[in-house]
Each structure stands twice: as C-alpha cells, then as structure tokens.
Structure 1
Amino acid sequence: MTTGGAGRISGGGRGAGTSAGDVARVGQVSGSERVVMFDIDGGLADLSAFTHLLTGDSEGSRRHAWQRFFDHVGQAAVIEPGRDLVEAVASLGLVVVYSTTRPVSCAEQTRIWLGHNGFPPGRALLCRSRNDVRPAVEVKAGHCRAAGSWLSAFVDDEPDTVDTLRTGGVRAHSFNELSGLRVRELKTVLATGTTATKTGNGTNRRRHNRTTPHHRPGRVAQRSP
C-alpha cells in the first residue's frame, strides 16, 4: 500500500528522511550485519476494511478522512504470507527493519500491532516524517538511504514501487516474488540481489501458510490526497 503516488526518486526535499546514523543509533547496526526492510501496508497489514472512510471532496475533508483511516491501523488484518516471509528472513540472521508511509503519529500503534500479531522484532520502524508531502516511493527511497550500505533488500507489495527503487539502485523485491521460496533460495536471492527462481508454471514454490482467525491475505492500493 502507498499513501502517495509513485514517481522519480529524489535525493532531498522537505521531510527527506533520516540518515544512516539514525538507524544505527536506533538499533546499533554493526558493520557485519545486513538489513532487510519490509513495507508494512499491503505486504504485512491489510487495511482494506477501512478504505470506505477515504472520501471527501475538499482538501480539509480528505485530510480528516485519512486521519479517520489511520485511527484504525491497530485493527489491520495480518497478511499471512508476508509474516511468514519476515519470519524466514529473521531466521537467516538478517536484521529486520519495518518501513511505512503512515505518518509518524501512527508509530506507537504500529509497533503494538506488530508485537501483538507475532511479527519478529524490528531493529527500527521508519515512518513518514511530519509535514512530509513527498510521493510514497520517495519516502521509501529515503528509508533505504537511511540504512545505507547495511541494506540488502527492500520488500514491497507494489511492482511499480519495486521497479522505481531498482532504477534508483536499490535491491528491491516484491512480496509475491519472495513469498514461498525455500530458505536456501531466499538466502541466495537476498545475498545476490537477483530475482527469485520460478517453477515450471511461472510461480514461486510456496510453503503451506498457517491460518489465524480474522487474519486474511489481501492488498490495499490507495493514494493520499
């Protein structure tokens, strides 16, 4: 999910994001560690049950609608294949960092939601800064820059975002590309930055995913005003 339009990656501008040092201070990332960053909405969290709130004709009413929408982030459904993927990455000894274009005011609710739903602890949670009006893909690119040379991969649910980040030099992958890979395959893809190997029918091999009541797979593709 994005809360802004796709576009060209720029190096600065208002709300340009944190520096690599900020990530190190938050989680003390060492030189030998490697970070895999996961976009939350659309890959890990499904908020589609609340998209009906995103209505409004004027700028003020749209802003209020987005606030009502974000009030429900703690009620998001878990996207099971996404959580399985984060668990697999954590089992490889890689550092998990969570990225979201939700405003920073949602950070605490987001942390609680991740913990309550059994996601592996993240070394950091990076959000959209206050007064940051850049397109979502630029916010995500800023988060990638914050991880600096520690970043091994950024994982997103939107193919256009993945393509744009790759054009900007980021090792980006889609959830669909990585979900269901065997551990050895996943390790190779993340280490080399190559695309995932497909089976004969053109799809990735997938694990059997556990089911949890009221947690369902899904996607949200919304743009902010």
Structure 2
Amino acid sequence: MKKKSIFLLAGIATLYFNNAYAQETPQDSTRSASIEQVVITGNSNPKKKIESSTAISTFSAKEIQKQNPISAAALLQRVPGFAVETSGGEVGNNLFARGIPSAGAYEFVQVQEDGLPVFEDGALQFANADNFFRVDNSVSRLEALRGGSGSIFATNSPGGLINFITKEGSNDFRGTAKLETSTYGLMRTDVNLGGALVKDKLFFNVGGFYRNR
C-alpha cells in the first residue's frame, strides 16, 4: 500500500512538472510577437517578419526605451552584422556593415526616417548620416535590414537599410514625457503627443526633445 502511494505521488509530481514546463514564458510571447510583426523596410509589399526572406532586426518603442540609447549609433550596436563605433558621442559615429570594406561613417548603409533618407550620402567628410537624426520618444520602432534587397530600394546601401519609423496619431489622445539629468549639468526632456483632429479621419503626432549640455 505504501509503494502504491509513492508511485501515485511520483506520477502527480511528474504531471505537474510537465504542465509547468509547457507554459509559455513572457520571453516566448515577446519572441512570437516579434516574428509576427509586419515589416516594410526593403520589401515591395509589407509582410510578416517570419515570411520575409531578408535579414532584418526590429526594435519596438519599449525595447528602445529600455536601452535608453544616447545616440542612434548606440542603438545600432544591438543589430547583428553591424560593427558600430560610438567614439563621436551623440553624433559623428562610424558604422561598418559585415563583409563590406569601408572607410567609416555610414558608408554603404542608408539611414531613413519613415522610408525617406535623412541624408542621401552617409559618408561625406564630417557629415555622417547620424548628424541629421536623433532618437527620441517620437520613434515607434526601428527596422534594420542587413544587405539583401537594400541596394534595390535605396541608393548607396548594399550594406543595408536603417529605417526609423515614427509614431502615428489615433482617436485616443495620448502622450509621453521623460526627464533625464546627470552630472556636469546635463538635462534632457522628451515629449511626444498624438491624437485625432477629426475622429477616424485626421490624426496628428508631434514630439521632440530639449537638451542642455
């Protein structure tokens, strides 16, 4: 009788362990949502990330906020296949695409905002592409395409496309605000607001930042 009880308890414990192991973790849920996300960079038609044949990395607004990058280059360090030097500080940094010899800057890679180039040439002397763009709370997500169809959809981009997609307004009025302070008098505030001017027809989204030092 005792042996049967032990076997019964062991069976219940095994069943419980298997059920617990089968439960989906938050990391699994986030990963599934990521591959189901529709991407628009380097594609003639928007399609799900899992259906795209290109090597593309995506970062949502929450992921960008967690990393809190001080520059666009600091965020791009997280993209596989890009070697990024942030020695310039907030701007004037270097990005090297894997497999393509480069003199630095953003040579052979195009930086875009909502699918339009922020600067057509990414490697002019002291005029790197990141001089003309800042990461703030207005960014909805980042799509970074490595190689592939980059040179088909943009000039000077055999190494890839970097597309910062900004937030859009909706019927609900919403916004975010952030204040950062640090040593040596550094202070930065970010604000973003979005909503509807005409419900279901006309929307707006405005944002930016002010930095001191």
Is TM (by shorter chain) over 0.5? Answer: no
Q: Decide which structure has the larger Cα Rg and report it.
A: 2
Query: Which structure has the higher relative contact order (CA within 8 Å, separation 6+)?
Result: 1
Report the TM-score when normalising by structure 1. 0.24
Per residue, is there more helix in 1 or in 2? 1
